[in-house]
């Protein structure tokens, strides 16, 4: 009988800590600091059909890479300083290299709740597509192997107006971007002496995100773009993008959907078409691709774990890239991502001619 | 007959013409408020993972959340405007549309539990039953976009707050049960359960707890609840 009060005491005490709330943890500071350290290793197999195969030193095909990423923001009244710095140290086949990148560094000034201006290096991140964004006129191209990694921006000034309403149109915002490019500024965007002006109008209308874009360039033809995104059911989202160069037979579009099943499998499918091929050094250079990602959250009740399969298929030459991987988020702010990636296709095709045939890719993140 | 009449009279006296569900909503949170809460996922072996969240809610249809802890989730935010829901990840740098059934944190709580709007905005009362100290409300979702098709809510008559909510699918399958505990005075006339525990037959042995640390009535502009500001919630913290 004495055991019962003891059990009750233990039960109460075991939850006592859970019910406590540390109010110090919610103290508001004038700054935010976050980031991660990442270590990665690639074990690669070579493709002897690749045109680059004979130029490759086969003795060393190991890649180690590490990355440090620090995001810092400081707030004072209407002003905010926002920054992100990345430091990389790589060992690719025994060749060491290091670099640091100021991915973003800009000042924001809020005139009021509706108007603000941002000046400095930033990435606007336009578009709704997961794998590729035809309307991201002011962003760097995404890496299809790591679509979230392209966070480096360009130097620009961005004015924004934002207003909410009642009714079928809930929100309207307007962006004006002004950017200059030459050999010294934004040279990775364009080395030509040129002025760039982008205007974007956003509407949340009838529960649909809609963006309309006009891009004016001083030395080249102007471009227009539009995108949309909508939840057509609680578990199905559809999205699309369209970009066109005015006065030229040049356009590109993307259509996609995201579907969540009752058992937490997320299917992301996108179709991308571009009228004209881009440079072969760029991702998605060919006319048309289909991209699929299947991601199963917490399979077999594996809490904080996920498995995924990704396929990028070039419809023109029928070559493809496959990735099968798993992620696990540990309780100590670490995340492990292990994937097996294999390129497949005929000799001379896009993925069939890649120097690397297959890769076992391990990434370990520690967040702070 | 007498019993039914007596119950109806009691209900009218207790809750007036206002819908009981609207009264429950008012007791749980002022129409515009910000709050801090922590979520704890407890696994069958007793190991735990904690999340700390900051939230701002306005009216019946607007809520935005920001993750403050753990470090691996820091800066993530979610915005809900009616049935539209977006997720912002700092590493992606832009909002993406998500669904209410998805779970941002893993475990038993899903987005709609964490980003709970007013019950009266999402549910109609199908029937109510007097069971002494509690009223049992049978709630039906107003439309198919609501995460749970049916709720059985037990409301404590004294505090007019929920004590237990069972969540069902349209086929009658129990998805989870929420237990409201530890009535606390948060100041400003806000007296409600500080703790919500949940378990689910779909996650046997797992348990999740939500603990409110602070709830404050606050007036904010509608523009806070836009995708323009989803990545800037920290700038609105107080």
Buried b (16+ CB within 10 A) or exposed e, A42-62: bebebbebbeeeeebeeeebe
Distance CA A263, CA A294 (A): 12
* pLDDT band for position B53 (cuts 50, 70, 90): very high
H or E stretch covering A17: helix A3-19
Residue B12 scores a pLDDT above 80: no
Residue B222's φ and ψ, nearest 5 degrees, are -65, -25
Q: What is the structure's pLDDT at A79?
A: 97
Contact call for residues A225 and A135 (beta carbons, < 8 A): yes
- Within the 42-71 window of chain B, which residues sit less than 8 Å (CB to CB) from chain A? 42-43, 47-49, 52, 54, 68-71
> Mean pLDDT throughout B63-91?
91
Looking at residue A217, the DSSP 8-state letter turns out to be E
Structure tokens given for B154 = 């037990």
Q: What is the structure's pLDDT at A173?
A: 98
Structure tokens given for A353 = 């001619």
Chain A residue whose CA is closest to B148? A234
Distance CA A17, CA A8 (A): 15
ipTM topping 0.85:
yes
Residue corresponding to tokens 């033809």: A221
Q: What is the structure's pLDDT at B203?
A: 79
Number of other residues whose CB lies within 10 A of the CB of residue A280: 9
Is the CB of A237 less than 8 angstroms away from the CB of B97?
Answer: yes
Distance linking the first and last C-alpha atoms of chain A: 49
Is the CB of A34 less than 8 angstroms away from the CB of B223?
Answer: no
Q: What percent of chain B stands above pLDDT 90?
A: 60
Residues from chain B contacting residue A26 (CB–CB below 8 Å) = 36, 52, 54, 68, 213-214
- Within the 66-105 window of chain B, which residues sit less than 8 Å (CB to CB) from chain A? 68-72, 74-75, 81-85, 89-94, 96-103
Q: What is the structure's pLDDT at B65?
A: 94
Exposed / middle / buried, residue A98 (Cβ in 10 Å: 0-12, 13-18, 19+): exposed
- pLDDT string in tens for chain A (368-residue length): 445 455 444 444 455 577 888 888 899 999 999 999 999 999 988 888 888 887 777 766 788 999 999 999 999 999 999 999 999 999 988 789 999 999 999 999 999 999 999 999 999 999 999 999 999 999 998 887 777 777 899 999 999 999 999 999 999 999 999 999 999 999 999 999 999 999 999 999 999 999 999 999 998 999 999 999 999 887 899 999 999 999 999 999 999 999 998 888 999 999 999 999 988 888 899 999 999 999 998 898 788 899 999 999 999 999 999 999 999 999 899 999 999 999 999 998 999 999 889 999 999 999 99
Contact call for residues A81 and A104 (beta carbons, < 8 A): no
Distance linking the first and last C-alpha atoms of chain B: 54
Chain A residue whose CA is closest to B37? A21
Give B89's contacts (C-beta < 8 A, 6+ positions apart).
A148, B75, B76, B96
Helical axes B20-28 vs B2-15, angle rounded to 10°: 40
Q: What is the structure's pLDDT at A11?
A: 46
Min Cα–Cα distance to chain A from B213, Å: 6
**Alpha-carbon distance values, A103 to A26, A45, A154, A182 (Å):** 29, 32, 8, 19
Distance CA B68, CA A287 (A): 43
Give B1's contacts (C-beta < 8 A, 6+ positions apart).
none
The strand pairing partners of A263, in sequence order, are none
Distance CA A170, CA A208 (A): 10
Q: What is the structure's pLDDT at B14?
A: 47
Give B90's contacts (C-beta < 8 A, 6+ positions apart).
A34, A71, B74, B75, B76, B231
Residues from chain A contacting residue B146 (CB–CB below 8 Å) = 234
Residue A125's φ and ψ, nearest 5 degrees, are 55, 55
Distance CA B147, CA B170 (A): 10
* pLDDT band for position B104 (cuts 50, 70, 90): low
SS3 readout for chain B:
CHHHHHHHHHHHHHHCCCCHHHHHHHHHCCCEEEEEEEEEEECCCCCEEEEEEEEEEECCCEEEEEEEECCCCCCCEEEEECCEEEEECCCCCCEEECCCCCCCCCCCCCHHHHCCCCHHHHEEEEEEEEECCEEEEEEEECCCCCCCCEEEEEEECCCCEEEEEEEECCCCCEEEEEEEEEEEECCCCCEEEEEEEEEECCEEEEEEEEEEEEEEECCCCHHHHCCCCHHHHHHHCC
Residues from chain B contacting residue A80 (CB–CB below 8 Å) = 235
Residues from chain B contacting residue A170 (CB–CB below 8 Å) = 81
Distance CA B99, CA A233 (A): 9
Give A151's contacts (C-beta < 8 A, 6+ positions apart).
A84, A86, A103, A104, A123, B91, B93
Give B26's contacts (C-beta < 8 A, 6+ positions apart).
none
Exposed / middle / buried, residue A37 (Cβ in 10 Å: 0-12, 13-18, 19+): middle
The strand pairing partners of B164, in sequence order, are B154, B179
**Alpha-carbon distance values, A296 to A145, A260, A293, A307 (Å):** 18, 10, 10, 5
Is the CB of A231 less than 8 angstroms away from the CB of B83?
Answer: yes
Residue B17 scores a pLDDT above 70: no
Mean pLDDT of chain B, nearest integer = 87
Give A37's contacts (C-beta < 8 A, 6+ positions apart).
A66, A67, A68, A69, A365, A366, A368
Whether B214 contacts chain A with CB within 8 A? yes
Q: Note the pTM of the prediction, 2 decimals.
A: 0.88
Whether A152 contacts chain B with CB within 8 A? no
Q: What is the structure's pLDDT at A13?
A: 47
Distance CA B100, CA B144 (A): 11
Among A12, A23, A26, the strongest candidate for a mutation testing the B interface, having the largest count of B CBs within 10 A, is A26
Distance CA A87, CA A319 (A): 34
Structure tokens given for B35 = 């709050």
Q: What is the structure's pLDDT at B106?
A: 65
User: CA dihedral defined by A268, A273, A274, A279, rounded to 10 degrees?
Assistant: 60
- Within the 270-329 window of chain A, which residues sit less than 8 Å (CB to CB) from chain B? 297-298, 301, 303-304, 329
Q: Nearest CA to B79 among B238, B228, B186, B193?
A: B228
Q: Nearest CA to B52 among B73, B32, B34, B33?
A: B73
Chain B residue whose CA is closest to A304? B106
Q: What is the structure's pLDDT at A29?
A: 92
* Tens-digit pLDDT profile for residues B22-42: 999 999 999 899 999 999 988
From the list B74, B81, B209, the residue facing A34 with the nearest CB is B74
Is the CB of A164 less than 8 angstroms away from the CB of B225?
Answer: yes
Contact call for residues B147 and B129 (beta carbons, < 8 A): no
Distance CA B176, CA B180 (A): 13
Residues from chain A contacting residue B209 (CB–CB below 8 Å) = 15, 18-19
Is the CB of B227 less than 8 angstroms away from the CB of A333?
Answer: no
Residue B4 scores a pLDDT above 80: no
Helix, strand, coil percentages (3-state) for chain A, rounded to 5, are 10, 60, 35
Residue B186 scores a pLDDT above 50: yes
């Amino acid at each position: 009988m004495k055991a019962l009060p003891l059990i009750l005491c233990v039960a109460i005490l075991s939850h006592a800590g859970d019910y406590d709330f540390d109010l110090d943890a919610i103290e508001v500071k004038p700054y935010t600091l976050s980031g991660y350290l990442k270590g990665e290793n690639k074990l690669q197999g070579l493709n002897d059909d690749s045109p680059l195969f004979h130029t490759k030193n086969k003795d060393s095909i190991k890649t180690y890479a590490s990355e440090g990423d620090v995001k810092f923001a400081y707030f004072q009244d209407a002003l905010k300083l926002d920054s992100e710095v990345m430091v990389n140290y790589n060992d690719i086949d025994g060749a060491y290299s290091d670099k640091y990148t100021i991915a973003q560094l800009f000042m924001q000034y809020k005139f009021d709740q509706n108007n603000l201006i941002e000046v400095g290096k930033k990435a606007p991140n336009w578009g709704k597509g997961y794998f590729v964004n035809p309307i991201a006129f002011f962003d760097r191209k995404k890496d299809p192997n790591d679509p979230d990694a392209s966070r480096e921006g360009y130097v620009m000034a961005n004015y924004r107006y934002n207003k909410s309403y009642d009714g079928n149109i809930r929100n309207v915002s307007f962006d004006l971007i002004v950017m200059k490019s030459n050999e010294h500024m934004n040279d990775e965007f364009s080395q030509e002496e040129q002025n760039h002006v982008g205007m974007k109008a956003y509407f949340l209308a009838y529960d649909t995100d809609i963006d309309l874009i006009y891009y004016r360039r001083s030395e080249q033809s102007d471009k227009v773009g539009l995108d949309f995104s909508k939840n057509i059911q609680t578990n199905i989202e559809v999205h699309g993008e369209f970009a066109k160069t005015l006065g030229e037979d040049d356009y590109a579009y993307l259509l996609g959907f995201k579907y969540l099943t009752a058992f937490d499998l997320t299917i992301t499918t996108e179709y991308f078409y571009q009228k004209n091929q881009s440079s072969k050094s760029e991702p998605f250079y060919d006319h048309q691709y289909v991209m699929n990602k299947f991601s199963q959250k917490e399979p077999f009740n594996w809490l904080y774990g996920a498995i995924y399969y990704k396929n990028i298929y070039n419809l023109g030459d029928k070559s493809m890239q496959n990735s099968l991987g798993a992620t696990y988020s540990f309780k100590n702010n670490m995340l492990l991502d292990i994937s097996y990636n294999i390129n497949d296709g005929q000799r001379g095709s896009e993925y069939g001619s890649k120097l690397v045939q297959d890769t076992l890719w391990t990434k370990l993140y520690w967040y702070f | 007959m007498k019993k039914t009449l007596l119950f109806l009279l009691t209900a009218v006296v207790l809750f007036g013409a206002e819908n009981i569900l609207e009264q429950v909503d008012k007791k749980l949170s002022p129409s515009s408020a910000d709050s801090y809460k922590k979520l704890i996922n407890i696994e069958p072996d007793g190991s735990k993972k904690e999340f700390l969240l900051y939230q701002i809610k306005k009216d019946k249809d607007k809520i935005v959340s920001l993750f403050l802890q753990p470090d691996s989730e820091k800066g993530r935010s979610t915005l809900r405007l009616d049935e539209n829901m977006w997720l912002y990840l700092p590493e992606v740098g832009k909002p993406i549309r998500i669904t209410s059934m998805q779970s941002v944190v893993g475990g038993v709580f899903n987005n709609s539990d964490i980003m709970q709007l007013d019950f009266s905005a999402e549910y109609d009362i199908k029937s109510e039953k007097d069971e002494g100290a509690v009223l049992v409300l049978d709630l039906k979702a107003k439309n198919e976009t609501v995460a749970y098709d049916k709720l059985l809510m037990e409301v404590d008559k004294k505090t007019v707050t929920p004590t237990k909510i069972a969540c069902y699918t349209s086929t009658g399958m129990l998805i989870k049960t929420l237990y409201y505990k530890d009535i606390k005075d948060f100041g400003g006339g806000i007296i409600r359960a500080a703790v919500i525990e949940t378990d689910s037959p779909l996650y046997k042995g797992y348990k999740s707890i939500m603990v409110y640390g602070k709830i404050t009535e606050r007036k904010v502009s509608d523009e806070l609840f836009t995708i323009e500001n989803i990545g800037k919630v920290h700038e609105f913290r107080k």
